[in-house]
A and B are shown apart, each in its own frame.
Chain A
Amino acid sequence: MLAIQLEASMRAIDDAGLSPKQIDGILPSQYGPTSEEIAANLGIEELRYSATIHMGGAAAVASLEHAAIAVATGAAERVLLVSGWNGYSMQRARNILSKNVTVLPGGAIARDYYMPYGMTVPAQWYALIARRHMYEFGTTQKQLGAIALAMRKHASMNDKALMRERSLSIDEYLRAPVISDPYRMFDCCLESDGAAAVVVTSAERAQDRRHRPVYIMGAAAAHPYPADEITNRQDIFRTGLTDAAPKAFAMAGISPRDVDFAEIYDCFTFEVLQQLEETGFCERGEGGPFVECGRIEIGGELPVNTHGGLLSEAHVLGMSHIVEAARQLRGNQGRRQVKDAEIGVVTGWGDFGDGSIAILRN
């Protein structure tokens, strides 16, 4: 796990036109090596700032916010964010959770009140919300399928996507085995080996680098209430993003209508639909119709997960969503380039519904 994180870090630092010694802040993932280990390997002698955000899959984008805060306050000048794991070859998420639920917020709650009934993994927790959404708003299995198909289509345009050569039809989607109803096989993200990294610095320092900079217009993160228990929420659809998104848009001074593309944390198909609603791209309850008719495909009204996402590119804990947003805003992404992309949104979803969002521009 350390090796691939270091490789991604070196590539990001090089891509930024920097040397490792110029990095003075690190925000590592809660699941990987510590900032101390990373600094020792990269030769970062002056580590002035480090922190780890415990928000599961929402941590990468929340870390982007924290890096921006660190740079804005002068706590650090050049901050490295890195995530990655050997989620296929070394350790599957389901096994980590069944051995040690205390990696979760309220881990004892999952152990004492969920696991005795066989509710042990995210596919099962989140399916509870998906099922309720289908009941309240008439969201259909085919609409969830439209999300899986869009991600797969985008992966076919991405040479680095694991599923680049594996096409998917709606019939194949519907025929696939059920994992945890309503989630079928293709509703669930990949389990893969991979790492990704990003460097954040001030707008001034980012000038005259190898690439034109991508700017953070706004960012926010938030928790649902209560964050440690997923079933006793007055409004079961109110997740961290519900509170974070309006803050980020206010900070950016734009509205969801101004956004050219979105990289939405897609651990499962329904989470894409729900985050599209809670980010404000459509009204709550309208996510089902919204994802149909190619609207979220490249060339559509709001291309979503232009790299293929966790569902079809690779599961890199959300960091690859930030990398892809930056690439789209630099341009020249070949067939998968969103035309005239100027503003992109990246979200994170983690644990029992923690949420994070960043609004980026070129």
Chain B
Amino acid sequence: MDKPLPELEGLTKEFYNWCRRGDLRFQRCSRCDMWRHVPREMCAGCGSNEWKWERSQGKGTVFTWTVAERPMHAAFADDVPYAPVVVELDEGVRIVTEIVDCPPSELEIGMRVEVAFAKVSDEVTLPKFKKA
């Protein structure tokens, strides 16, 4: 069974297209400079519709995680145990991801990580992370 992939539409398509080019970018408000993720139509902070895709340094820290030991989705049955991790980028936004070179038992909150792109299909490259 194939793993679920994002549907490449609208702003989500733009986000993942940057990833495909090896570029982690998030939206940043042109008026108040606030970074945001997941993609939104407007800035929830100041109400501005003006924004641009701005390059992230791709570095951050582990904010929290869970270790899935029992598969809840058939496509991930062979992967257990695996850990969905929340990384807080230095720019302030948080992203759900995976740390590719760290077994779940060695995860720690506060661990420094950096982006490591993983191509999962012709169209989709997921931003994953590795130990920094």
Chain A residues within 8 Å of B, Cβ to Cβ: 94, 98, 108-109, 111-121, 123-124, 127-129, 131-132, 135, 177-183, 226, 229, 231-232, 236
CB nearest neighbor in B for A131:
B64
B84–A118 contact, CB under 8 A?
yes
Question: Contact at A118–B70, with CB atoms within 8 Å?
Answer: no
Interface residues of B in 1-16 (CB under 8 A from A): 3-7, 12
The reply to whether the CB of B76 lies closer than 8 angstroms to some CB of chain A is yes
Is the beta-carbon distance between A128 and B6 smaller than 8 angstroms?
Answer: no
- Taken together as a complex, chains A and B put the C-alpha atoms of A118 and B94 apart, in Å, by 17
List 20 A-B residue pairs with CB atoms under 8 Å apart, sorted by A's residue number: A98-B72, A98-B74, A108-B7, A109-B38, A116-B120, A116-B124, A117-B98, A120-B4, A120-B72, A123-B66, A123-B72, A124-B66, A131-B65, A180-B66, A180-B68, A180-B69, A180-B70, A183-B66, A226-B44, A229-B38
The range of chain B's interface size is 35 or more
- Are B84 and A114 closer than 8 Å at their CB atoms? yes
- Give the complex CA separation of A118 and B44 in angstroms: 28
User: Is B21's beta carbon under 8 Å from chain A?
Assistant: no
- Contact, CB under 8 Å: B6 / A178: no
**B102 surroundings in chain A (CB, below 8 A):** none
Nearest Cβ on chain B to A144's Cβ, whole angstroms: 14
Residues of chain B within 8 A (CB-CB) of A108 are: 7, 12
CB–CB B93/A232 < 8 A = yes
A178 and B86 form a contact (CB under 8 A) = no
> Are A94's CB and B72's CB within 8 A?
yes
- List of B residues within 8 angstroms of A119 by Cβ: 66, 68, 84, 96
Is B67 touching A181 in the complex (CB atoms < 8 A)?
yes
Say which residue of A115, A180, A226, A236 sits within 8 Å of B4 (CB atoms).
Answer: A115
Given contact pairs A124-B66, A131-B65, A181-B67, A117 touches B97 in the complex (Cβ within 8 A): yes
Contacts A114-B84, A127-B66, A128-B66 known; A98 to B120 CB distance under 8 Å? no
Closest to B12 in A: A112
B103 to chain A: closest CB distance in Å? 13
Cβ contact of A113, chosen from B6, B65, B70, B72, cutoff 8 A: B6
The residues of B that contact A124 with a CB separation of less than 8 Å are 66, 68, 72, 84
Residue of A nearest to B63 (CB): A132
Q: Which residues does chain A contribute within 8 Å of B82, judged by CB atoms? A: 118
Select which of A94, A179, A226, A231 is within 8 A of B69 by beta carbon.
A179
For residue B50, CB closer than 8 A to chain A, the reply is no
Taking CB atoms and an 8 Å cut-off, the chain B residues in 90-114 that contact chain A are: 93-98, 104, 109
For B12, B64, B82, which residue has the most chain A Cβ atoms within 10 angstroms? B64
Given contacts A116-B126, A181-B69, 16 further A-B contacts (CB under 8 A): A111-B4, A111-B6, A113-B96, A117-B96, A117-B98, A118-B82, A118-B98, A119-B66, A119-B68, A120-B73, A120-B76, A124-B66, A135-B64, A177-B69, A181-B66, A231-B94
Complex CA gap A183/B70 in Å reads 11
